[in-house]
C-alpha cells in the first residue's frame, strides 16, 4: 500500500459538483492499493498515518513533534489507484501493479473502517471509491510525505517499480 499524506488546513472531495466529504485541519491521504497487499499493510499504514509527527509542538514550537492524533485533527481518505502507475516504458502509464478494482473496493472499505476504529470515527472521512473525484485542499506548510508499506519488509524499492513482498 502507498499513501501520499498532505498536512492540510482544509480538504474536500466532490463528485459531479456535489461535496461528498470535507474536513478542517488535519491530513488528506491519497491511498493506493497494489496486488498482494494484506491486512498487515493496512495495519502499518494506519499506525503510520495516525502517529507520524508532522506538526510543531503546540507548547514549545519544536518542529515535527505532534501527530494528527496528538492534535485531534481530521482525516480525509481518497482511493487513488494511479499511485501504482509504472511509467518505465513508453508514455502511457501501466497500472498492472494496482489491485483489481473489484478486490480493491472491499480492501479500501476495510482500510477506511480500520482507520475509523483506530482513531475517532467521525473525524475520518472518505470519498467514493472508483468515482471521478475533485479533490480540493488548502495545504499547510506545505508538508507532503509518501508512506509505503512495502518498505517494512526490508525491500529496497525504486518508486516507479516496486517488487512484490518476499515470500514467507
Catalytic residue set: 80-82
Beta strands in the chain (DSSP E): 2-15, 18-23, 26-32, 74-79, 124-126, 134-148
C-alpha grid cell, residue 50: 495516525
Three-state DSSP class for residue 57: coil
- Nine cell digits for residue 144: 507532503
Please give the span between the terminal C-alpha atoms of the chain, in angstroms, as a whole number: 18
Q: Are strands 26-32 and 124-126 parallel, antiparallel or unpaired?
A: unpaired
Per-residue burial over 125-161, b = 16 or more CB atoms within 10 Å of its CB, e = otherwise: bbbebeeebebebeebeeeeeebbbbeeeeeeeeeee
Locate cell 519544536: which residue? 62
Amino acid at each position: 500500500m502507498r499513501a501520499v499524506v498532505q498536512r492540510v488546513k482544509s480538504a474536500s472531495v466532490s463528485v459531479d459538483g456535489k461535496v461528498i466529504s470535507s474536513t478542517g485541519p488535519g491530513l488528506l491521504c491519497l491511498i493506493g492499493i497494489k496486488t498482494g497487499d494484506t491486512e498487515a499493510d493496512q495495519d502499518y499504514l494506519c499506525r503510520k498515518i495516525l502517529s507520524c509527527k508532522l506538526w510543531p509542538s503546540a507548547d514549545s514550537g519544536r518542529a515535527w513533534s505532534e501527530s494528527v492524533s496528538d492534535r485531534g485533527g481530521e482525516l480525509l481518505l481518497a482511493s487513488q489507484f494511479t499511485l501504482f502507475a509504472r511509467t518505465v516504458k513508453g508514455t502511457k502509464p501501466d497500472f498492472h501493479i494496482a489491485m483489481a478494482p473489484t478486490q480493491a473496493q472491499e480492501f479500501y472499505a476495510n482500510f477506511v473502517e480500520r482507520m475509523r476504529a483506530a482513531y475517532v470515527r467521525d473525524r475520518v472521512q472518505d470519498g467514493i471509491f472508483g468515482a471521478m473525484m475533485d479533490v480540493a485542499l488548502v495545504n499547510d506548510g506545505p508538508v507532503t510525505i509518501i508512506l509505503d508499506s512495502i518498505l517494512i519488509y526490508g525491500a529496497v524499492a525504486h518508486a516507479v517499480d516496486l517488487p512484490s513482498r518476499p515470500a514467507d
